[in-house]
Copies of this chain bind each other. A is one copy, B any other.
Amino acid sequence: MRARVYVTLKPSVFDPQGRVVAEALHTLGYGDVRDVRQGKFFEVELEGDDRASAEARVAEMAATLLANPVIESYRVEVL
Contacts and interface: CB of A to CB of B under 8 A. Distances in A.
A52 interface: no
Interface in A24-79: 24-25, 28, 30, 32-48, 57, 61, 64-66
A33 B45 contact: yes
Nearest to A46: B32
> Can you tell how many copies of this chain the complex includes?
2
Contacts of A64: 28
Contacts of A48: 32
Given A21-B65, A64-B28, A42 B33 contact: no
Nearest to A38: B42
A32 B18 contact: no
A24 B64 CA distance: 11
A41 B37 CA distance: 8
